[in-house]
Amino acid sequence: MNFLASKRLVTAALVLLALCNVTLLSVVLWQKSCGLRNPPGGSQYGHHRTFIESLALNKSQALSFSKLRQEHFNKVRPEMESIILLKKELVEESLKSRPEGNKIDTLVSRIGAHQMSIERELAFHFHELGKICTPTQCDSLKELLNQISAHKHAMRTERWIEHRP
């Protein structure tokens, strides 16, 4: 390969890379301009948009709603992380050649205590959400929460049935 051919190859590669960079930068800027971002407290916190749309919340209510949901998830995050760590310990203990029943019982009890705390916080969170709603919106909130709960239960049951021998 002579010097001129290698120079052309390098130039062509640099032009191609520059075109790729410009294209990707254009896509990123287009996404930002179209508002494809998640709103604060958005999808990372579950059914945020569903709640706001289904309950027909005004801007002030939606802002309060988002703030309450974000506070709730920040409050229960340590409990969730503790459960994850305890479940890892439970798996480790369960897979030992001679698992200790007492240790398993202790781990299960500790997981249950964290879960109980999460459920308690969830009940108070629902109460706080209800306080920013009108009576009609509160009825819709109750119905929506019951639907979500029933859906999650149905999904768990379906997965359990699929994995049954």
Quote the pLDDT of residue 41: 40
Distance between CA atoms of residues 92 and 148, nearest Å:
33
**Confidence band, pLDDT 50/70/90 cuts, at residue 7:** confident
Above pLDDT 70, what percent of the chain? 78
Quote the pLDDT of residue 88: 94
List pLDDT tens digits, range 85-142. 999 999 999 999 999 999 999 999 999 999 999 999 999 999 999 999 899 988 988 8
Quote the pLDDT of residue 44: 43
What would the DSSP string read from start to end of 96-153?
A: SSS--HHHHHHHHHHHHHHHHHHHHHHHHHHHHHHHTS-HHHHHHHHHHHHHHHHHHH
Q: Report whether 27 contacts 20 (CB < 8 A).
A: no
Q: Is the pLDDT at 43 greater than 70, yes or no?
A: no
Quote the pLDDT of residue 45: 43
CA end-to-end distance (rounded Å), the chain = 65
**Long-range contacts of residues 74-80, Cβ cutoff 8 Å, at least 24 apart:** 75/121, 76/117, 76/118, 76/121, 76/122, 79/114, 79/115, 79/117, 79/118, 79/121, 80/114, 80/118
Cα dihedral across residues 88, 74, 131, 146: positive or negative: negative
Above pLDDT 90, what percent of the chain? 39
Quote the pLDDT of residue 97: 92
Q: Report whether 132 contacts 68 (CB < 8 A).
A: yes
**Global pTM value:** 0.61
Q: Which CATH number fits domain 46-162: 1.20.120.1490, 1.10.3720.10, 1.10.1200.120, 3.30.70.1230?
A: 1.20.120.1490
Q: Is the pLDDT at 161 greater than 60, yes or no?
A: yes
Domain parsing of the chain, residue ranges:
1-34, 46-162
**Which residue reads 């049951």 in tokens?**
157
